Amino acid sequence: MKDKKRPLSVAIDGPSGAGKSTIARMLARELGFLYVDTGALYRTIGYAVLQGGGDPADQAAVEALLPTLSIRLAQQEDGQHVFLGGEDVNGKIRTPEVSMAASRVSAFPAVRAFLLDIQRDTAKSISIIMDGRDIGTVVLPDADLKVFLTASAEVRARRRFDELAEKGTAVTYDEVLKDMTQRDYDDSHRDIAPLREAEGAVRVDSSDLTLEQSAAVIRRLVESLQPPADQT
């Protein structure tokens, strides 16, 4: 009898501008995995606080609310949806007010711990891809595949500069490079979950690769984890 394939978890970490989110979403669509948008989880808590008439900046009140919340992630045709108490709130958590509330609640360690459990539980039931700066080191240290996606600061700054130029944002390449370098330093020296390459991670340098080429490299790594369809 054939064994049912167990869910696979893929963690993609790396510095800003390496293309993590774009590539992770691309791979999730191609492989049929769930792309976990962690920001949506913080938004859901912020939304719950506001719905209850609370203050997202009140740490004690937010922490007291957490045990009453039931948050679940599910895969839909258009990607991840978040359910709060059985209600699909995906369309309700994208307002500026909720965004501000999410920013405030994300500063509380208890909120991060609460969501950590949800992310790990999700990984046990469905194949997922998550990206960030501490996925392989903190969130999913036992992920089936850990990737550290990087590129030189100059390449990442050029990509960001081109994006801003397309949007008509007046900024120089040197300014973008300076900001990128500073962010790299800040991310790797922060007190909580600093950016670093996870033990056992595969380093993928996208400096000379397109997004599609980088995704193809990681896809081959994922596919190497999956047994042939006729394996018993």
pLDDT tens, position by position, 137-151: 999 999 999 999 999
Round the CA-based radius of gyration of the chain to a whole number and report it: 19
Model confidence, pTM:
0.79
Average pLDDT value for residue range 90-102: 89
Does pLDDT of 4 surpass 80? no
Q: Which long-range contacts (CB under 8 A, 24 or more apart) does 210-218 make?
A: 211/19, 211/22, 211/23, 211/26, 212/26, 214/19, 214/23, 214/149, 215/23, 215/26, 215/27, 215/30, 218/10, 218/12, 218/23, 218/27, 218/145, 218/147, 218/149
Q: Which of 148, 139, 129, 143 has its CA nearest to residue 193?
A: 139
Joined together, the tokens standing for residue 210 give 């397109």
Q: In what order do the strands lie in the sheet with 71-76?
A: 71-76, 79-84, 87-88
Query: Sorting pLDDT into bands at 50, 70 and 90, what band is 3?
Result: very low
Phi, psi of 148 (to 5 degrees): -110, 100
Which residues make Cβ contacts (< 8 Å) with residue 200, sequence separation at least 6? Answer: 146
